[in-house]
Chain A
Amino acid sequence: MTAITKKKRHSRETVQDRILDTAFYLIVGIFMIVCLYPVWFTIVASVSSSAAVNSGRMLLLPVGFQLKGYTFVFSDTRILTGYTNTIMYTVSGTLLGLSCSLAAGYALSRKDLPGRNLIMMLFVFTMYFGGGLIPTYLVTKSLGLINTRAVLIIRGCISVYNIILIRTFFQSNLPDEMHEAATIDGCGNMRFFLQFAIPLSKAIVAVIALYLAVGYWNSYYTALVYTTDSKLKPLQLYIREMLMQSNSTVDYEDPELASQYNQMMQGVKYAVIVAATLPVMCIYPFLQKYFVQGVMIGSVKG
């Protein structure tokens, strides 16, 4: 008797659970579409005829396939300069930031380092309080870094958040005994760091490299504040100018010509957006398992 009621109750709850599951699939599915569609639309719009895009005929697949937008984008020397600059800043900034943060994170993870808590405290304090725009600008200026490539590479290479991630990772993945054993065998600190600590930490290296690279690729603020020389501009700053520029309508006598110009610029905008975003889009899915791990490390209070 009791067994039957129990079974009955159980099956009823399964129905309830199943409804819940379906609801979850549905809501998450809708959210996925919301996330993906604008990006998909932009990609498809960049290869469709502007007339089709503007009239709303293009919804899912390209209509009136063309590559005019891309021809325009890749024949614009400013954009090519921007591309080259961005690649340069991203590669050198990521390498610089990666080596400095790994070194600092490793040193701070060592319990036998006198003063490490004080240094950590001083680092963390800067996450919550800073000098502000102008004092920072004045320091940068006094170092002669205004309008140099150096400032675009150096700024942003160290983030306290990254250092905390690395420190926590080393603390929980490199047992103290390992370092002790190595020391007894005559292995110095530097060699231990380079030969043992780094090779054992591929996950954290991947996470930090991804964070840094995306940060550099997408940043425009540093360039906006610290540079005026157009030869130094990164891609994002050009895109910003380009998107702003065509908002101010060009004066054409002939309204027909004006509308044609607007339509062309619209296509170019979609193309430039895709060109600037595609590299990152292609890389991050492969590193997904690492950056999820990275956030997990970060959520462990260390």
Chain B
Amino acid sequence: MKSQTAAAPAVVNRPPRWKNTLRMMKRNWVLYLLLLPAIIYIGTFNYAPMYGIQIAFRNFNFADGITGSKWVGLKWFKYFFNSSKCWMLIRNTLAISFYSMIAGFPIPILLALMLHNIPSQKFKRTAQTITYLPHFISLVVVVGMISCFTSINSGWVNTLIEALGGERVYLMGRPEYYRHLYVWSGVWQGAGWGSIIYMAALTGVPPELHEAATIDGASKLQRIRHIDIPAILPTITIMLIMRCGDIMSVGFDKSYLMMNDLNKDVSEVIATYTYQMGLLSGKYSYSTAISLFNNVINFVFLTVVNKFAKVVSGSSLW
């Protein structure tokens, strides 16, 4: 009896959960106000377009609007898969993407391991400043630099080739060199910047570990192998998962800048094709269908790799 009366006020005093939430919402209404601009932006430019994805299944025209245009089902997808461009685009996209990953992924890791183990702090800092520099140069300028350096009648690359007894070539117009130029200029631009995240992970290693290992007679190489590398392994996994989610997306910007009539067979990728079909040729539905296909592949791939990484290593994005 007594315990019952004691319990009763407690029940009365504790309002139901939703009421509590409501009170918190009321008290913190200003925070929602602070969130509003971001919510409006994301709502407008990220979620509203998702509604428009349905035009991939319609014959879109401006007069009828998004929902008024005729439903055509998978017509545009079939059209894409039957077109001669389809496999070329997928092949080009995958080739550049894989090549970029194989060349571009390990270099920042190696750079970070080396930078971290350089004894002179001053040298390390200078090296960091200089290797970050290319990251801040715009793609327009990077591609401009490549085209200046490799220009057939005035670039120094050709002067060098000629001096070595070779013949002048228009490098940017030769399909066989396109991927190398694309990928290695990307490595040049991104390696230093990409190493920051691994440097950050390496700074988190307690110095005592290194000291103890040194006392036990471990060489520097052994310490890198058994202390540093395990320390950045989770970061490597996360970065690799994120990279895999982008496997089917080769950035529009650089491909479009480097593309010319001569290298089109290898330089045209899905992103540039959707731009050309959509905005330049006005085939809105077709373009949307291709980018939807691309988006879904990426998303599925990311999910699968994430799941796999979770099972295998315990590190995952979500």
Q: Identify the A interface with B (CB < 8 A).
A: 6, 9-10, 13, 16-17, 20-21, 24-25, 27-29, 31-32, 34-36, 38-39, 41-42, 45, 50, 53-56, 99-101, 103-104, 106-108, 110, 112-115, 119, 122-123, 126, 128-140, 143, 154-155, 157-158, 160, 163, 188-190, 193, 214, 217-221, 225, 236-237, 239-240, 243, 247, 259, 262-263, 266, 269-270, 272-273, 276-277, 280-281, 284-285, 288, 291-292, 295-296, 298-299
Q: Could you list 16 further interchain pairs (A-B, Cβ under 8 angstroms) beyond the known A134-B278, A188-B30, A236-B138?
A: A28-B123, A42-B145, A54-B153, A56-B156, A113-B32, A119-B35, A122-B42, A130-B46, A133-B291, A134-B274, A134-B279, A134-B284, A189-B28, A269-B144, A272-B144, A276-B138
Contact of B131 with A35 in the complex, beta carbons under 8 Å? yes
Contact of A132 with B156 in the complex, beta carbons under 8 Å? no
**Shortest beta-carbon distance from B123 to chain A in Å:** 7
Closest to B283 in A: A134
Q: Of residues 132 to 169 in B, which have CB atoms within 8 Å of A's CB atoms?
A: 132-134, 136-141, 143-145, 147-149, 151, 153-154, 156, 159-160, 163
Is B37 close to A, CB under 8 A? Answer: yes
A61 to B31 CA separation, bound complex (whole angstroms)? 57
Task: Evaluate whether A284 and B136 lie within 8 angstroms (CB atoms) in the complex, with A107-B31, A158-B41, A225-B279 already known.
Answer: yes
Contact of B217 with A239 in the complex, beta carbons under 8 Å? no
A6 to B215 CA separation, bound complex (whole angstroms)? 11
Is B128 close to A, CB under 8 A? Answer: yes
Contact of A103 with B200 in the complex, beta carbons under 8 Å? no
A128 to B126 CA separation, bound complex (whole angstroms)? 36
Partner of A31, one of B34, B131, B143, B298: B131
**Shortest beta-carbon distance from B80 to chain A in Å:** 14
Q: Identify the B interface with A (CB < 8 A).
A: 21, 24-25, 28, 30-32, 34-35, 37-39, 41-42, 44-53, 55, 66, 111, 114-115, 117-119, 123, 126-134, 136-141, 143-145, 147-149, 151, 153-154, 156, 159-160, 163, 188, 191-192, 196-197, 199-201, 203, 217, 219-221, 235, 245, 252-253, 257, 260, 274-275, 278-279, 284, 287-288, 291-292, 295, 298-299, 302
Chain A residues, CB < 8 A from B154:
50, 53-54, 262-263, 266
Chain A residues, CB < 8 A from B278:
133-134, 137
Contact of B284 with A220 in the complex, beta carbons under 8 Å? no
Contact of A31 with B111 in the complex, beta carbons under 8 Å? yes
Partner of B151, one of A25, A103, A266: A266
Partner of B66, one of A25, A27, A138, A217: A138
Contact of B299 with A273 in the complex, beta carbons under 8 Å? no
Chain A residues, CB < 8 A from B274:
132-134
Q: How many residue pairs bridge A and B at CB < 8 Å?
A: 278
**Shortest beta-carbon distance from B200 to chain A in Å:** 4
Contact of A28 with B114 in the complex, beta carbons under 8 Å? yes
Contact of A193 with B34 in the complex, beta carbons under 8 Å? yes
A132 to B203 CA separation, bound complex (whole angstroms)? 39
Task: Evaluate whether A288 and B35 lie within 8 angstroms (CB atoms) in the complex, with A24-B114, A138-B52, A239-B144 already known.
Answer: no
Chain B residues, CB < 8 A from A225:
275, 279
Best-surrounded residue of A17, A132, A269, A270 (most CB of chain B within 10 A): A132
**Shortest beta-carbon distance from A66 to chain B in Å:** 16
In terms of DSSP, what is the predominant structure of the interface of chain B? helix
A214 to B189 CA separation, bound complex (whole angstroms)? 14
**Shortest beta-carbon distance from B206 to chain A in Å:** 16
In terms of DSSP, what is the predominant structure of the interface of chain A? helix
Contact of A221 with B253 in the complex, beta carbons under 8 Å? yes
A269 to B143 CA separation, bound complex (whole angstroms)? 12
Chain A residues, CB < 8 A from B144:
239-240, 243, 269, 272-273
Contact of A132 with B53 in the complex, beta carbons under 8 Å? yes
A113 to B26 CA separation, bound complex (whole angstroms)? 10
Contact of B34 with A106 in the complex, beta carbons under 8 Å? yes
Closest to B277 in A: A134
Contact of B197 with A288 in the complex, beta carbons under 8 Å? no
A50 to B47 CA separation, bound complex (whole angstroms)? 51
Nearest first, the 7 closest Cβ-Cβ pairs linking A and B are A131-B49, A135-B52, A218-B138, A132-B291, A104-B38, A135-B49, A56-B159
Chain A residues, CB < 8 A from B219:
13, 16-17, 20
A126 to B50 CA separation, bound complex (whole angstroms)? 10
Chain A residues, CB < 8 A from B298:
128
Chain B residues, CB < 8 A from A219:
138
**Shortest beta-carbon distance from B273 to chain A in Å:** 11
Contact of A155 with B279 in the complex, beta carbons under 8 Å? no
**Shortest beta-carbon distance from B87 to chain A in Å:** 21
Contact of B129 with A288 in the complex, beta carbons under 8 Å? yes
Chain B residues, CB < 8 A from A122:
42, 47
